[in-house]
């Protein structure tokens, strides 16, 4: 049994970390990526996260810097997206209204992806943030970089999908390749399959995409099965772990241990890009996994360690999904920021009182939901940065196929059988 995520927040140090800054890419302009007050992907979650991180002292940690970013130019967005689609996004967001028929051709104007004014500029701001993170890490000016507004992993080459207009992780990976990276690994831990990033590099052996998600049999986008492994020379570089509904911290971490470390160690990327959708949480309204913030924090610690082990510490971390706007997202991503800054926040630390008392009302106002009486709203809020789990224990994958009667082990074994032999690894022996 292994333990991840101690209550004190202690974290192993890394040789050469001293003086290496962590970059946080943030600008209030990123709050403009806003599909409207009733849409699940509401930017209030980002405002609450940055406020909580500031109040917790994370943004003032030694070696951390916060910078704004420029809009991504069309030529970089078009490393991944069709120029005709980019033009359609720009046209759809023209103040006063674009052409609804044109928008519909690119899946814009749907319930998932409603059109809003200056949509191109808002999506380009998010993409520019992730590109700035990639540039900082690749240039060596910073060891780690975090772009919480990013992680919009569903957008396809010529269409919006799943709340995503431009696929900022894919654009950043494509830029890294153009800048000279030989191998880039992308690990997606959102509850939904990272289908857009997978599609962008499905035939590119330079990019390893790993997605751990609730099975597409029970959740959007309906893809991400073990047999989706890439094509041509890239066979084996698309990796999917389709988790059963109800998977909890211990099961999720067991699945992670059986797939992610062994493949990252074999692939040895120049840089690690990660997507940290926190909609795996048991309180998330759009999915059916059962993780806690403590378990999510443990996953961030594991990815941080792997970035140092396999990629020289070069780590670009993005946000993603997460729809428990005040109860989960701000705590989860404050942990991500703190871990990236080598200053983890203890899970048993109390939330700042003023933040805890104001957060429900801020969400009520932003989303125009009926306000809850203040005392009841505060009582429903978590009291600490964790969910009371303390150290998260799990049984790591060792060898064989695990328990053949356990749906979680069946899912992990299926992925290992499909992918590990394509990397010259034995799925029955290699952890």
Q: Which residues are catalytic?
A: 154
> Which residue from 230, 237, 318, 310 is spatially nearest to 271, judged by alpha carbons?
310
Kind plus residue range of the DSSP H or E element containing 362: helix 353-367
How buried is residue 212: exposed, middle or buried, by Cβ count under 10 Å (0-12/13-18/19+)?
buried
Distance (Å, rounded) from C-alpha 283 to C-alpha 306? 28
Q: How far is CA 259 from CA 254, 397, 425, in A?
A: 9, 9, 11
Torsion sign (Cα): 49, 54, 57, 58:
positive
The Cβ of residue 283 has, within 10 Å, a number of other Cβ atoms equal to 15
| DSSP label at residue 385 | S
The DSSP string of 331-347 is HHHHHHHHHHTT-PPPT
CA angle (133, 150, 98) in 5-degree steps? 120
Supply the Cα-derived Rg of the chain in whole angstroms: 20
Structure tokens at 125: 């701001």
SS3 track for 223-247: CCCCCCCCCHHHCCCEEEEEECCCC
Please state whether beta strands 144-147 and 184-188 pair in parallel, antiparallel, or not at all (unpaired).
Answer: unpaired
Cis peptide before 221 (omega within 30 of 0): yes
φ and ψ at residue 152, rounded to 5 degrees: -85, 80
């Amino acid at each position: 049994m292994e333990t991840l995520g101690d209550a004190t927040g202690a974290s192993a140090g890394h040789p050469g970390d001293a003086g290496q800054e962590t970059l946080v890419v943030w600008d209030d302009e990123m709050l403009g990526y806003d599909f409207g007050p009733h849409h699940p992907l509401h930017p209030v979650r980002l405002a609450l996260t940055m406020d909580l991180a500031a109040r917790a002292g994370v943004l003032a940690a030694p070696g951390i810097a916060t910078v704004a970013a420029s809009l991504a130019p069309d030529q970089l967005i078009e490393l991944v997206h069709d120029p005709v689609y980019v033009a359609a996004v720009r046209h759809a967001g023209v103040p006063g209204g674009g052409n609804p028929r044109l928008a519909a051709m690119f899946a814009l104007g749907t319930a998932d992806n409603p059109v809003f004014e200056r949509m191109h500029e808002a999506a380009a701001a998010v993409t520019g943030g992730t590109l700035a993170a990639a540039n900082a890490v690749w240039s060596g000016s910073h060891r780690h970089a975090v772009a919480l507004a990013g992680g919009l992993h569903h957008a396809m080459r010529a269409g919006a999908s799943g709340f995503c207009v431009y696929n900022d992780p894919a654009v950043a990976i494509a830029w890294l390749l153009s800048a000279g990276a030989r191998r880039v690994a992308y690990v997606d831990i959102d509850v939904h399959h990272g289908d857009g990033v997978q599609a962008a590099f499905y035939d590119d052996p330079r990019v390893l995409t790993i997605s751990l998600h609730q099975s597409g049999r029970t959740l959007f986008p309906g893809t991400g099965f073990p047999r989706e492994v890439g094509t041509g020379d890239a066979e084996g570089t698309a990796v999917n772990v389709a988790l059963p509904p109800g998977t909890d911290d211990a099961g999720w971490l067991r699945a992670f241990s059986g797939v992610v470390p062994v493949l990252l160690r074999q692939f040895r990327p120049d840089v690690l890009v990660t997507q940290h959708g926190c909609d795996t949480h048991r309180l998330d309204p759009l999915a059916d996994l059962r993780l806690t913030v403590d378990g999510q924090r443990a996953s961030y610690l594991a990815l941080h360690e792997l970035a140092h082990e396999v990629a020289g510490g070069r780590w670009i971390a993005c946000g993603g999904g997460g729809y428990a706007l005040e109860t989960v997202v701000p705590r989860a991503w404050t942990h991500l920021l703190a871990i990236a800054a080598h200053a983890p926040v203890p899970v048993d630390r109390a939330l700042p009182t003023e933040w805890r008392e104001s957060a429900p009302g801020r969400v009520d106002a932003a989303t125009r939901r009926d306000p809850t009486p203040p005392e009841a709203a505060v009582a429903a809020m978590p009291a600490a940065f964790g969910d009371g789990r303390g150290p998260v224990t799990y049984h790591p994958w060792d060898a064989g196929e695990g328990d053949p009667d356990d749906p979680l082990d069946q899912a992990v074994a299926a992925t290992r059988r499909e992918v590990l032999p394509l990397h010259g690894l034995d799925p029955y022996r290699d952890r």
